[in-house]
Amino acid sequence: MDIHARFRLDHVTRGQGYFKAPGEQDAKLIESAQVTLNAVQGEPFGAYTPSGRLEMFIVNPTAAQVFFDARIGQEFDIILSHVQEHE
């Protein structure tokens, strides 16, 4: 079963971090993003909206750019699902 949650972007901080792209030998110093998202009241939970906060430090340049380009207050849908364990 998947859980659908909606979060609002409330804070983005630019910083530096090291990122090693697939196939590259060394990590490179890149611009990173520290983001804070807070739960949105209303749908998809309606009156049962949980409170919550999601904080991420993102060094993947493509993923960080999503948040650099987003406006503060932008909402994001997040789907949580079980991860299949590998044997």
pLDDT by position in tens, the chain (length 87): 888 888 999 999 999 988 888 888 898 898 999 999 999 887 666 666 678 899 999 999 999 999 999 999 999 998 889 988 876
pLDDT at 49: 66
DSSP H or E run through 58: strand 53-58
79, 85, 56, 1: CA torsion to nearest 10: 20
Report how far apart, in Å, the C-alpha atoms of 53 and of each of 70, 79, 86 are.
18, 15, 29
Whole-angstrom distance, CA of residue 15 vs CA of residue 12:
10
pLDDT at 71: 98
